[in-house]
């Protein structure tokens, strides 16, 4: 009789452990109801000028932003200086354009892009470096 009770307790404990592991593993995927728990991260690509290109002060830059619902979500900085950008809606993405700050001369600078979402785990960030000449 004691062996059967021990087996029952072991069986219940293993079922509980499997249930907890499954809920921890699937909790962040948003499965089942979709809703606010699921998201698609933004994709930021087609950087122009290319990474490590030499450019003049005030030069234009552009990139494509996929999986962004509103252009207001996109924030761009260069050496921590906020940069005003324009967006053009294309089929499935935004074409984002801006200009480097004209007062940055003879330096390397990162064009840093942040996409803010209502759900913080859905935020995105990317960027690239350019060499600003005289």
Q: pLDDT tens across 32-69, in order?
A: 444 456 789 999 999 999 999 999 999 999 999 999 99
Q: pLDDT tens across 39-48, in order?
A: 899 999 999 9
CA–CA separation, 117 and 69 (whole Å): 9
Q: pLDDT tens across 102-117, in order?
A: 999 999 999 999 999 9
pTM of full prediction above 0.75: no
Phi-psi label, residue 69: left if phi above 0, alpha if psi -120 to 50, beta otherwise: alpha
């Amino acid at each position: 009789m004691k062996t059967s009770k021990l087996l029952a307790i072991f069986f219940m404990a293993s079922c509980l452990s499997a249930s907890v592991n499954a809920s921890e593993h699937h909790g962040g995927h948003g499965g089942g109801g979709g809703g606010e728990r699921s998201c698609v991260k933004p994709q930021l690509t087609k950087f122009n000028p290319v990474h490590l290109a030499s450019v003049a002060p005030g030069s234009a830059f552009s990139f494509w932003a996929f999986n962004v619902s509103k252009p207001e979500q996109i924030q761009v900085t260069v050496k921590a200086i906020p940069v005003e950008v324009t967006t053009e809606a294309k089929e499935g993405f935004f074409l984002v354009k801006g200009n480097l700050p004209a007062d940055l001369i003879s330096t390397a600078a990162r064009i840093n892009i942040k996409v803010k979402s209502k759900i913080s785990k859905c935020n995105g960030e990317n960027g690239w470096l350019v060499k600003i000449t005289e």
